[in-house]
Chains A and B, each alone.
Chain A
Amino acid sequence: MSELNIKYDNDALLLDDVDYRIIHATQKGLPRTPQPYHFIASELELDAGDVMQRIQRMQDIGVIRRIGAVPNHYALGFHGNGMTVWDVPDEYAHDVGAQVGALDFVSHCYLRPRHLPDWPYNLFAMVHGRDRDEVNAKMENISELLGSQCRGHSVLYSSRILKKTGLRITERR
């Protein structure tokens, strides 16, 4: 797996070097051992209480979204994964986005700029289902939910993964 050399300015951040060492030590996953935070602490020669406090703080400020499992939806039988896209008038976009993002079959939901005339859509929502029929049905549910707050929509299916290395944060030098 290739690694992106992402390094960050000290002053841009609320994080210090110790936080980055913890990020680096956990970005491939949490150790599966009864005391995972103690395990990380001993690897980094830190105090376990300090490690837990820092992880808690990073979670509180949103640097860590949450700790948990990422299911491989394809392996779990969700073979339909469609990028649904919506043209929502700007004045409704925030509220509509929150509404769509809260649906349990929507994983990622974003507002992005339109590129007229090629691309009229400003709301993106990844919809997952067992197959494309299920995704299309869920898209129709969203469409009904939005009613006149939506001027148009479409769904894009991926036909091929051309690259998937993911983003990796390297330890700062």
Chain B
Amino acid sequence: MDNLDRLIINTLQDGFPICDNPYAVVAQDIGTNENELIQRIDSLLDEGLLSRFGPMFNADKMGGAFTLCAMTVPKEHFEQIANYVNSFDEVAHNYEREHTLNMWFVVGTEKPEQIDAVLDSIQSHTGLVVHNMPKQEEFFIKLKFNV
């Protein structure tokens, strides 16, 4: 990763123009050319330094429902319960975290009432309490990693 890559990563976190030749516009701003910029973005994606390049959609503005859930799962049943929770298509992410509440997962459904059905299934199958922590307010300024 050289200085141009760093400049590209930092610049592209601020947004991207919606116009006929957006790469040319950005390239001019950062002192490179369109082809070089496109190739660099491709390489950064291939190397995994960027995980994505494109529009970031705000899924809950589109009518879906999302929530973060946390459970305290006994160590001896952890793998089994992780597999069960992960078996739901509605579970998008699941992390083991170092806390008494040691399993944290995100549930996303088409309609809000379907969230409860998923959580009820998990609670009744595991006998564990699922703490439902839907976001009440979001403070989204921007994702910005200066590299």
Chain B interface, >50% SS class: mixed
Main secondary structure of the interface of A (DSSP, over half): mixed
Q: What are the interface flags for B75-103 relative to A under an 8 Å C-beta threshold, 1 for contact and 0 otherwise?
A: 00000001001100111111111111101
Which residues of A have CB within 8 Å of B93?
161, 163-166
Contact present for A8 and B110 (CB under 8 Å): yes
Give Cα A59–Cα B63 distance, bound, in whole angstroms. Answer: 16
Number of interface residues of B (CB under 8 A): 80
| In the complex, residue of chain A having the shortest beta-carbon distance to the beta carbon of B99 | A156
* A66 touching B142 in the complex, CB below 8 Å, given contacts A27-B55, A118-B131, A119-B70: yes
- Write the nearest CB–CB distance from B144 to chain A, whole angstroms: 5
A59 to B61, CA, bound (A): 11
In the assembled complex, A109 has its CB within 8 A of some CB on chain B: yes
* Contacts known (A110-B139, A163-B91); A68 close to B131, Cβ less than 8 A: no
Q: Which of A6, A55, A97, A156: most chain B CB closer than 10 A? A: A6
B22 to chain A: closest residue by CB? A36
Instruction: Output the residue of A5, A27, A110, A124 with the most chain B CB within 10 A.
Output: A110
* Stretch from A71-79, A136-144, A145-153 that touches the partner: A71-79
In the assembled complex, the CB of A59 is this many whole angstroms from the nearest CB of chain B, namely 7
Number of A residues, CB within 8 Å of B? 81
Q: In the complex, what residues of B have CB within 8 A of residue A27's CB?
A: 54-55, 57
Residues of chain A within 8 A (CB-CB) of B142 are: 66
Which of A63, A102, A160, A166 touches B58 (beta carbons < 8 Å)?
Answer: A63
Within 8 A of B (CB), among A45-85: 48, 52, 55-56, 58-59, 61-73, 75-78, 83
Bound CA span A35–B19, Å: 8
Complex Cα distance, B67 from A113, in Å, reads: 11
For the complex formed, measure the closest distance between the CB of B5 and the CB atoms of chain A, giving whole angstroms: 10
Nearest-Cβ distance from residue B37 to partner chain A, whole angstroms? 9
Asked whether A30 lies within 8 Å of B92 as measured between CB atoms, the reply is no
Q: Are the C-beta atoms of B98 and A69 separated by less than 8 Å?
A: no
CA–CA, A65 and B59, complex, Å: 10
Cα distance A65–B141 in the bound complex, in angstroms: 10
Supply 23 A–B pairs (Cβ within 8 Å), ascending by A: A2-B89, A6-B108, A15-B62, A23-B57, A35-B20, A35-B21, A37-B18, A52-B19, A62-B61, A63-B61, A65-B57, A69-B41, A71-B147, A76-B147, A101-B140, A110-B138, A112-B133, A112-B134, A118-B72, A118-B131, A128-B145, A158-B104, A165-B92
A residues contacting B by CB (< 8 A) are 2, 4-9, 12-13, 15, 23, 26-30, 32-38, 48, 52, 55-56, 58-59, 61-73, 75-78, 83, 93-94, 97-98, 100-102, 104, 107-113, 115, 118-119, 124, 128, 154, 156-167, 169
